[in-house]
Structure 1
């Protein structure tokens, strides 16, 4: 692809711009600065909450660009004097939330349940899985009754995160597909992380909404990712770039492959295909 055609870059976070020690690609800030000079937005798209994304956006100097959290269930823009405000939002049906919480507690009590609403992360109890997630994202969960959250009509639920041992999560994924949840979708963001969002939510839709927001054609977009939930946006973007550490299925869904997240694969891709 002619690098001059790329007018928007959207990128995953974990395993993509962060290395295995959860540190940002050491050359990414410089490459993002070059994108800014060319007026090319750099949008972070992740299963993370806004609080898990905003500090990274600040480190990269891209707080003027939108962020797509919860895999696109909540896309926000930083407004002067207001902070980050929603520009696109897709929340779960509360009936599905109630059924799923009840089903997981009854059938998979060993699974850690997290609920996400706007910029907040909620758990009922702190366990080893939620503590591990807090260490990774730098975010602290709020302990609160799920019943209170579900019953509150003013509180949207944007995402579930279900964590456990890999074998248990795989059984849970199959179980979730068999229960009556009409408006929800399930996918693995890691082999032991099962994410649940509204069925309309995907990074593909996030790419569409962000491209429309900037009035940029999809053929002029580049997407970078490393995991299964990145596949829809890699397939849709004008140039889908798979990280060298991605599974083969992800690599096969992209047009090109870059180096790994431990070897600055994201910044290398920007330099090679956009900046030159």
Structure 2
């Protein structure tokens, strides 16, 4: 029986149809989640998003429990603002990565527990504009990231212009790979941009999920996890019930099938309100 739900945001809860399921979930999805939550089932949002970009969703739906943001680097009760756990990066590693990005004209955001920063000479009408709209928060602009902000960083976000540029960024930052946790991500609303999410080695969605479920005293076998990328599989795999969408890659669809009949579902696309099908399948009578 499902006692806890963990949801990725982009591609699961939020799509790319402005006014329909972006920047907020579809109204029917919000209503279903509210009904489930009122019946005592915690709903954890688990995302690589900057935490301030998750807070409006939490408040809109009314979710009063911990949430996981910044690719597992931050566990917060976003309704109250209380920080439960934070994984900061080593200062020298942060400086090394920032220096490489600036030298090679790689757009980079630096995230702390409260804000995200960009360097003044990197302001880009396309990237900065799209990111501000997506995060629903403007960056703090500084003259020098190296001099003005390299303490208490929980996430670095070098941004590649497209798939081809992604390879260039990988090569340039390869020497730092053993010092950090790295995963690539993308968002359909900001394509073709590609995001290299960099956090402390100890930070991960799966570690954050384990810690959060223990604090709620709910076992993973009683947890439903939903994601849409292979990067989500790390937190989906340990859970008893799993689901993904038609907009997910074929490899992830095959992975969820390994859970066996009655334990998995591949739902319609996020833009077809696939999450409603998942909630109905696993929680009949609760929505």
Structure 1-normalised TM-score?
A: 0.89
1:171 pairs, out of 159, 165, 168, with 168
State the Cα distance separating 1:74 from its structure 2 match.
Answer: 0.6
Give the Å deviation of 1:67.
Answer: 1.8
Q: Per-residue CA shift, 1:169-228, capped at 9, x if unaligned?
A: 222124323x14543111111161111111222221121111111011111111111123
Query: Match of 1:256?
Result: 265
Matched residue SS, 2:233: helix
Name the structure 2 match of 1:161: 157
- By how many angstroms is 1:57 displaced? 0.9
Matched position secondary structure for 2:224: strand
Q: Residue 248 of structure 1: CA displacement?
A: 1.2
Query: How much has 1:41 moved relative to structure 2?
Result: 0.4
Q: 1:7 maps to which residue? A: 3
**TM-align CA RMSD:** 1.8
1:99 Cα deviation after fit: 0.7
Contact 1:73 1:158 in 2 (8 A): yes
> 1:253 & 1:202 partners in 2: Cα distance?
19
Does structure 1 conserve the Cα–Cα contact (< 8 Å) formed by 2:265 and 2:278?
Answer: no
- Are 2:22 and 1:26 aligned? no
CA–CA distance in 2 between the matches of 1:233 and 1:240? Answer: 10
Unaligned runs of 5+ in 1: none
Aligned to 1:121: 116
Equivalent position of 2:215 in the other structure: 213
Question: Which segments of 5 or more consecutive residues in structure 2 lack a partner in the other structure?
Answer: 187-192, 257-263
Q: Partner of 1:235 in structure 2?
A: 237
Once residues 269 and 170 of structure 1 are traced to their aligned partners in structure 2, the CA distance between those partners, rounded to angstroms, is: 35
Instruction: Kindly state the Cα deviation for residue 78 of structure 1 after the two structures are TM-superposed.
Output: 4.5
Q: Distance in 1 between matches of 2:28 and 2:152?
A: 37
Aligned-pair CA distance for 1:235: 1.2
CA contact (8 A) 2:6 2:43 kept: yes
Contact 2:184 2:197 in 1 (8 A): yes
CA distance in 2, matches of 1:174, 1:247: 25
Q: Distance in 1 between matches of 2:173 and 2:284?
A: 44
Rounded to whole Å, the distance in 2 between the matches of 1:78 and 1:192 is: 27
Q: Distance in 2 between matches of 1:46 and 1:170?
A: 24
CA distance in 1, matches of 2:284, 2:179: 41
Aligned residue-pair number: 262
Cα distance between partner residues in 1 of 2:78 and 2:234: 26
**Distance in 1, Cα, partners of 2:156 & 2:284:** 37
TM-score by length of structure 2 reads 0.85
What is residue 60 of structure 1 aligned with on the other side? 61
Distance 1:45 1:245, change over 3 A: same
Per the TM alignment, residue 268 of structure 1 is displaced from its structure 2 partner at its CA by: 2.1
CA contact (8 A) 1:129 1:164 kept: no
1:102-121 superposed matches below 5 A: 102-106=99-103, 108-109=104-105, 111-121=106-116
Secondary structure, aligned partner of 1:216: coil
Q: How has the CA–CA distance of structure 1 residues 78 and 46 changed in structure 2, closer, same or farther, with 3 Å as cutoff?
A: closer
The yes-or-no answer on 1:274 pairing with 2:275 is: no
1:148 partnered with 2:110: no
